[in-house]
Chains A and B, each alone.
Chain A
């Protein structure tokens, strides 16, 4: 890999790692959801610091132009992350629905009791 691009990619992946670490440390990102991000940034870091890694990964997958291997890797991780988001959103919306219904039912019950109390 060209030296200059290697410097940039090392800086980039280290920056991402630090950012994720900081977000988890400050509790802005839950540990549970940080795992897939950590793996992504570690993979980026490995690919940028170990020179032959991307090429041998590409060859192993039958890819002749190694930057393509990088895109495939990135695409794979981003897909995983997006899918995890969808799963989490589905769970949240189900809970949100149940909570809203229960709140509405409780409110109705309180109003009923207040009417009776008067």
Chain B
């Protein structure tokens, strides 16, 4: 089993080195690739110094394109399992084993680390009230559409098997991709599950989602979800599809 951790990062020089180091100590067998999304700070050199492979996108292309570049890297490198970890330090690499477990065991094609299941509600960072309302709305819509009980579809802390890596290398949404990518995986016939994780407040940098953008975010993601109802289902192309 070859493991790869994909870290999309846009100007995260303050945190990315620590994230890479934490992944190395939590899972020494995993390779780490940092996708620097046209960063203008020292993200790329900090990541390289901490021992990660660094893919430098030539300009800022957005989180979706950055994550997809990571899945392409995993696809071309022949990795069996990929985990996605944010570069801002929100996700705790010591919990990687939790989300990798079901993928490794073959119980799910994709596993999402959720802040909202298991454990007492007071633990960990839960983000603002407004954002939680949005997240729970997405969670409900997506749960109905997929038939899986999903609580944290905007979480970018995920583990994927080889089939999912190949699907995402081939097709991945551009902006605000977390929710839509889960629907994509479901439509391709993959099993999605969630595991409880704790999240931390971001260690540095700033969130890409401002209050004004969040309204656009809500409307766009909802629209995109419903468009998929009438679209041709995504299919894996090529061998052993």
Contacts and interface: CB of A to CB of B under 8 A. Distances in A.
Nearest to B75: A105
Interface stretch (A23-31, A61-69, A95-103): A95-103
Contact of B72 (A101, A107, A112): A101
Interface in B19-75: 35, 53-59, 61, 65, 68-69, 72-73
Given A100-B65, A112-B53, A105 B73 contact: yes
Contacts of A107: 55-56
A112 B52 CA distance: 11
A108 interface: yes
Contacts of B76: 105
User: Is chain A's interface secondary structure helix, strand, loop, or mixed overall?
Assistant: helix
Nearest to A109: B76
A103 B73 CA distance: 12
Contact of A97 (B54, B56, B174): B174
User: Is chain B's interface secondary structure helix, strand, loop, or mixed overall?
Assistant: mixed
Contacts of B61: 97, 100-101
A104 interface: yes
Interface residues of B, number: 16
B55 A100 contact: no
Nearest to B62: A97
Contacts of A108: 53-56, 73
Given A97-B65, A97-B174, A103 B58 contact: yes
A107 B55 CA distance: 8
A102 to B, nearest CB: 8
Nearest to A97: B65
Interface string B121-134: 00000000000000
Interface of B: 35, 53-59, 61, 65, 68-69, 72-73, 76, 174
Given A100-B59, A104-B55, 12 more contacts: A97-B65, A97-B174, A100-B58, A101-B72, A103-B58, A105-B55, A105-B69, A105-B73, A105-B76, A108-B56, A108-B73, A112-B53
Interface of A: 97, 100-105, 107-108, 112
The 4 nearest A-B residue pairs measured at CB: A101-B69, A108-B55, A104-B55, A104-B57
